[in-house]
Amino acid sequence: MKNIAEKLIKWYEENKRELPWRSDPTPYHVWVSEIMLQQTRIEAVKKYYVTFMKELPTIESLAKVEEEKLLKLWEGLGYYSRARNLKKAAMLVQEKYKGKMPSSYQELLQLPGVGEYTAGAIASICFEEQVPAIDGNVLRVVARLTANSQDILLPQVKKQITNQVKQILPKQAGKFNQAMMELGETICIPKGNMKCNECPIKEYCQAYSKQLTNVIPFRNPKVKKKTEEKTVCLLYYQNEIAIRKREEKGLLQQMYEFPNIPQLESIASIEEQIQSWGLQLQNIQEIGKVSHVFTHRIWNMDCYIVKVKNKNTEFIWVNEQELMHKYALPTAFSKILQRKEEKNLCVIQKVYK
């Protein structure tokens, strides 16, 4: 392990990818990018990051932004509590640190939504503090380097790996941390796709020498996801579509959704539900089935276009331009709009006179 730092940093300086947040690694830029990158692929984050920085270029602007706009900027990234915590943390930085990010690892940990990894990344990259930044990529790299066959998701294993990295951290901790992450992102990738022949430190890798790279890292099987069935209605009155705000707690809290029923329903049941909303039916068209996978659950949705003859006050009625630019619609529901656009012909159409 002690032999890898110099080689890894040299490799990183020669091979690192050009990423938007690397061109100007201020504490704010590193912070936002690291929060966005949690549970999300780099390629997906790039466009969000550029748009976010254009709209909210400073900590002050993030602290003052309305939640509706913030969630709209985050729309499609998922895990929306990350965005809310960014705003909470920005408000705290404005109040307690006069708009400047705290410079120490321990202070950074006090910010909402900032855990050990994010604090380590900001402190080492931006303030040259000699602390590790241990994410899933680094856990995988170190597990292979040391042929660690334990479950890397266990807290005691993560602590063990963190201590191993602390012992070899060079003074250039920021570059070393980025190099480890870059190696895990591009070379030492998950099982079956590794590029060991391109690895700058393969001579020190015990998993490579013992031909264990397809076995390590080990993870216990994931818990089976819970499946939920829903019937979702795209309710149209003329050129307006109905949406409503979700509850303040739980999954996708305070995001917008299309009206839905928490089970798969027959056409007759949908008719009854529409009437219970105080709406008069004009016609129903079936779009088809749409599924969306969350971390711990799966939504299977039967989706319908429902045209009505009147509006109610229970829903918010907006045109599709307003929906696109103003209201944050989770990916699960955006998929239904995409399916509607893709499917010109309808399987079922029932007209009401």
DSSP character at residue 188: S
CB 175 within 8 A of CB 13: yes
Phi and psi at 257, nearest 5°, equal -145, 165
Please give the Cα distance from 329 to 253 (Å, whole number): 11
Structure-token pair, residue 138: 């680094």
> β-strands 226-237, 297-308: how paired?
parallel
Name the 3-class secondary structure at 19. coil
**Amino acid residing at 31:** W
CA atoms within 13 A on the CB side of 219: 13
Query: Is residue 272 annotated as part of the catalytic site, yes or no?
Result: no
Q: Which residue of the set 13, 14, 34, 116 is catalytic?
A: 34
In whole angstroms, what is the distance from residue 67 CA to residue 85 CA?
Answer: 11
Other beta carbons less than 10 A from residue 23's beta carbon: 8
Please give the Cα distance from 30 to 267 (Å, whole number): 51
How big, in percent rounded to 5, are the helix, strand and coil portions of the chain? 45, 15, 40
For residues 138 and 194, the answer to whether their CB atoms sit within 8 Å is no
Say if residues 133 and 117 touch (Cβ distance below 8 Å).
yes
CA distance 36 to 133: 16
User: What six digits make up the tokens of 46?
Assistant: 């790039």
Q: What are the catalytic residues?
A: 34
